[in-house]
Amino acid sequence: MSCFHCSCGFAIDDADAFGDHLRLVFTPDDDAGNDGRVHHELDDGGAPPGRHACACGFSAGGIAELDDHLLIVFIPSDDTGIDGQKHLVVDPSTPGGWRVQGTPG
Protein backbone atom coordinates (compact mmCIF):
# COMPACT_ATOMS: atom_id res chain seq x y z
CA MET A 1 0.00 0.00 0.00
CA SER A 2 1.26 3.46 -0.78
CA CYS A 3 2.29 5.66 2.11
CA PHE A 4 1.14 8.97 0.70
CA HIS A 5 -2.29 9.64 -0.71
CA CYS A 6 -3.70 12.76 -2.31
CA SER A 7 -7.43 13.43 -2.47
CA CYS A 8 -7.17 13.58 -6.29
CA GLY A 9 -6.34 9.87 -6.31
CA PHE A 10 -2.56 10.18 -6.57
CA ALA A 11 -0.76 7.75 -4.27
CA ILE A 12 2.90 6.92 -3.92
CA ASP A 13 5.40 5.57 -1.38
CA ASP A 14 8.08 8.15 -1.95
CA ALA A 15 7.84 11.40 0.04
CA ASP A 16 9.94 13.32 -2.48
CA ALA A 17 7.76 12.19 -5.37
CA PHE A 18 4.66 13.14 -3.42
CA GLY A 19 6.14 16.57 -2.84
CA ASP A 20 6.80 16.80 -6.57
CA HIS A 21 3.13 16.07 -7.21
CA LEU A 22 2.03 18.87 -4.88
CA ARG A 23 4.48 21.34 -6.40
CA LEU A 24 3.30 20.36 -9.86
CA VAL A 25 -0.38 20.94 -9.15
CA PHE A 26 0.01 24.07 -7.03
CA THR A 27 2.82 26.02 -8.65
CA PRO A 28 1.30 28.58 -11.06
CA ASP A 29 2.94 29.30 -14.39
CA ASP A 30 3.99 32.72 -13.20
CA ASP A 31 5.27 31.48 -9.80
CA ALA A 32 3.02 34.01 -8.07
CA GLY A 33 2.27 33.03 -4.48
CA ASN A 34 -0.78 33.74 -2.35
CA ASP A 35 1.02 36.80 -1.03
CA GLY A 36 1.32 38.27 -4.52
CA ARG A 37 5.08 37.80 -4.67
CA VAL A 38 7.05 35.55 -6.99
CA HIS A 39 8.54 32.42 -5.48
CA HIS A 40 10.99 30.06 -7.10
CA GLU A 41 14.36 28.69 -6.12
CA LEU A 42 17.24 30.80 -7.30
CA ASP A 43 19.95 28.69 -8.91
CA ASP A 44 22.81 30.52 -7.25
CA GLY A 45 21.19 33.68 -5.98
CA GLY A 46 24.04 34.45 -3.68
CA ALA A 47 22.90 31.89 -1.14
CA PRO A 48 25.72 30.57 1.03
CA PRO A 49 26.72 26.93 0.44
CA GLY A 50 24.11 24.56 1.81
CA ARG A 51 21.35 27.16 1.75
CA HIS A 52 18.59 27.60 -0.79
CA ALA A 53 17.39 31.06 -1.74
CA CYS A 54 13.86 31.88 -2.90
CA ALA A 55 13.17 34.74 -5.29
CA CYS A 56 11.14 36.45 -2.52
CA GLY A 57 14.24 36.73 -0.36
CA PHE A 58 13.53 33.70 1.82
CA SER A 59 16.60 31.60 2.60
CA ALA A 60 16.11 27.98 3.59
CA GLY A 61 18.58 25.77 5.41
CA GLY A 62 17.73 22.79 3.23
CA ILE A 63 15.79 21.80 0.16
CA ALA A 64 13.01 20.34 2.32
CA GLU A 65 12.61 23.67 4.10
CA LEU A 66 12.48 25.47 0.77
CA ASP A 67 9.87 23.00 -0.49
CA ASP A 68 7.77 23.65 2.60
CA HIS A 69 8.05 27.37 2.00
CA LEU A 70 6.92 27.03 -1.62
CA LEU A 71 3.94 24.85 -0.71
CA ILE A 72 2.89 27.29 2.02
CA VAL A 73 2.89 30.24 -0.39
CA PHE A 74 1.31 28.37 -3.31
CA ILE A 75 -1.45 26.24 -1.74
CA PRO A 76 -4.67 28.29 -1.70
CA SER A 77 -7.05 28.20 1.25
CA ASP A 78 -9.45 25.99 -0.71
CA ASP A 79 -6.70 23.47 -1.65
CA THR A 80 -7.59 23.69 -5.34
CA GLY A 81 -4.68 23.17 -7.69
CA ILE A 82 -4.02 24.81 -11.03
CA ASP A 83 -5.74 21.82 -12.66
CA GLY A 84 -8.99 22.73 -10.90
CA GLN A 85 -8.94 19.66 -8.67
CA LYS A 86 -8.65 19.66 -4.91
CA HIS A 87 -5.41 18.22 -3.58
CA LEU A 88 -5.56 17.38 0.07
CA VAL A 89 -3.10 15.04 1.69
CA VAL A 90 -4.95 11.98 2.90
CA ASP A 91 -3.22 10.10 5.67
CA PRO A 92 -4.30 6.46 5.41
CA SER A 93 -2.93 5.70 8.88
CA THR A 94 -5.53 7.83 10.63
CA PRO A 95 -8.95 6.42 11.55
CA GLY A 96 -10.56 9.53 10.03
CA GLY A 97 -8.93 8.81 6.71
CA TRP A 98 -10.21 5.26 6.73
CA ARG A 99 -13.75 6.35 7.47
CA VAL A 100 -13.63 8.79 4.56
CA GLN A 101 -12.71 5.89 2.35
CA GLY A 102 -15.62 3.82 3.64
CA THR A 103 -13.69 1.23 5.61
CA PRO A 104 -15.53 -0.03 8.71
CA GLY A 105 -13.96 0.68 12.07
Work out whether 87 is an interface residue with Zn ion (CB under 5 A): yes
Name the segment binding Zn ion (CB under 5 A); options: 12-20, 39-47, 59-67, 97-105. 39-47
Distant-in-sequence, close-in-space partners of 7: CB < 8 Å, separation ≥ 6: 79, 86, 87, 88, 89, 90
- Within its chain, how far is the Cα of 82 from the centroid? 13
What distance in Å separates the CA atoms of residue 82 and residue 74, rounded to the nearest whole number?
10
Q: Of 86, 77, 68, 67, whose CA–CA distance to 25 is shortest? A: 86
Work out whether 42 is an interface residue with Zn ion (CB under 5 A): no
Q: How far is the CB of 53 from Zn ion (least distance, A)?
A: 9
Work out whether 5 is an interface residue with Zn ion (CB under 5 A): no
State the number of binding residues for Zn ion (CB under 5 A). 8
Q: Which residues bind Zn ion (CB under 5 A)?
A: 6, 8, 10, 39, 54, 56, 58, 87
